[in-house]
Amino acid sequence: MTNGDTDPELVHNTVTGGVSGLAVQAGEIHGNVVFHHHENCPAPSVPEAGTVVARLADPPVPGNEVFVGRDAEVSQLLAALAPCTGAEDGADRATSVVVSAVAGMGGVGKSALARHCALTALRWFSGGVFWIDLQGYSDGGLVTAAAVYSPLLRRLGVPADRIPDQTDERAAVYDQVLRDLGAAGRPVLLVLDNASTASQLQGLLPASGGHRVVVTTRDTLALPSARRLALGVLPLEDAITMLDQRLRWHNPEDDRALTDPVGAARLVRACGALPLALLIAAGLLNDEPHLDADTLAGQLDRASTDGFAHGETRLDTVLTASYERVRRRAPDAARLLSLIAHAPGIDVSTESAAVLADTTVDRARALLRVLLQAYLLTATVLDRWRVHDLVRRHAADHARPDDDDNIEAALTRLLDYYCDTTRAADTHVRMLPDDAVSERFVDREEALAWLDTEHPNLVATVQLAAGINCHTHTINLALALNKFLGWRRHLLDLLTVQELALEAAHHVGDPYILADAWNDVGLAQLNLGRISQAISAFQQALCICLELGDNHGREGAVWGHIGLALWHLDQFEEAIAAHQIAGDIFHDLGNRYGEITAWHNLGLALVGTGRFEQAVAVFQRALDACVDDVVVRHDAGMAWGGLGWALIGLGRPEEAVLAHQTARDIFAELGDRHHESTAWHNVGLALLKAGRFGEALTAFQRDLDICRELSDHDGEGVAWGNIGSALMEAGEFDEARASWNRALHTFQGNNDTDGADWILQLLDDLDNRTATPLSL
Q: Assign residue 336 the CATH number of its domain.
A: 1.10.10.10
User: Is residue 498, in this structure, part of any structural domain at all?
Assistant: yes
Assign residue 723 the CATH number of its domain. Answer: 1.25.40.10
Same structural domain, 465 and 376: no
The pLDDT, as a whole number, for residue 399 is: 67
User: Is residue 609, in this structure, part of any structural domain at all?
Assistant: no
Same structural domain, 51 and 140: yes
d(CA 510, CA 261): 49
Q: Tell if the pTM clears 0.75, that is, is over it.
A: yes
d(CA 221, CA 199): 9
Same structural domain, 678 and 665: yes
Assign residue 200 the CATH number of its domain. Answer: 3.40.50.300
How confident is the model over 195-200, as a mean pLDDT? 92
Q: What percent of the chain has pLDDT over 90?
A: 69
Largest Cα separation within the chain, whole Å, is 110
Same structural domain, 30 and 166: yes
User: Is residue 632, in this structure, part of any structural domain at all?
Assistant: no
Same structural domain, 173 and 251: no
| pLDDT of 52 over the 70 cut | no
Same structural domain, 384 and 407: no
d(CA 614, CA 643): 11
Which ranges constitute the DSSP H helices of 90-133? 90-95, 110-120
What is the CA 445 to chain-centroid distance, rounded? Answer: 23
d(CA 70, CA 74): 6
How confident is the model over 267-278, as a mean pLDDT? 95
The pLDDT, as a whole number, for residue 555 is: 94
**Collapsed DSSP state (helix, strand, coil) of residue 383:** coil
| pLDDT of 644 over the 70 cut | yes
Same structural domain, 73 and 174: yes
> Given 484, 508, 532, which residue is the final one in a domain?
508
HSE, CB side, 13 Å, CA atoms: give it for residue 642: 32
The pLDDT, as a whole number, for residue 628 is: 55
Same structural domain, 182 and 264: no
User: Is residue 261, in this structure, part of any structural domain at all?
Assistant: yes
Q: Which of 215, 223, 45, 191 is nearest to 121 (CA)?
A: 191
Compute the Cα dihedral for 68, 71, 73, 78 and give only its sign. Answer: positive
Same structural domain, 219 and 262: no
The pLDDT, as a whole number, for residue 641 is: 95
HSE, CB side, 13 Å, CA atoms: give it for residue 30: 17
12 — pLDDT class (breaks 50, 70, 90): very low
141 — pLDDT class (breaks 50, 70, 90): confident
Q: Domains in the chain: how many in total?
A: 5
Same structural domain, 291 and 354: no
User: Is residue 602, in this structure, part of any structural domain at all?
Assistant: no
Same structural domain, 702 and 756: yes
**One-letter amino acid identity for 417?**
Y
Same structural domain, 21 and 38: yes
d(CA 769, CA 753): 23
Q: Provide the phi-psi class of 258: left if phi over 0, else alpha when psi is between -120 and 50, else beta.
A: alpha
CB atoms within 10 A of CB 57: 6
User: Is residue 34, in this structure, part of any structural domain at all?
Assistant: yes
434 — pLDDT class (breaks 50, 70, 90): low
| pLDDT of 299 over the 90 cut | yes
> Given 174, 203, 230, which residue is the final one in a domain?
230
Is residue 341 within 8 A of residue 392, CB to CB? The reply is yes
User: Is residue 307, in this structure, part of any structural domain at all?
Assistant: no
**One-letter amino acid identity for 744?**
L
User: Is residue 571, in this structure, part of any structural domain at all?
Assistant: no
How confident is the model over 573-581, as a mean pLDDT? 97
> Given 230, 258, 290, which residue is the final one in a domain?
230
The pLDDT, as a whole number, for residue 48 is: 31
Domain range for 388 is 330-399
How confident is the model over 360-366, as a mean pLDDT? 97
Q: What percent of the chain has pLDDT over 70?
A: 86
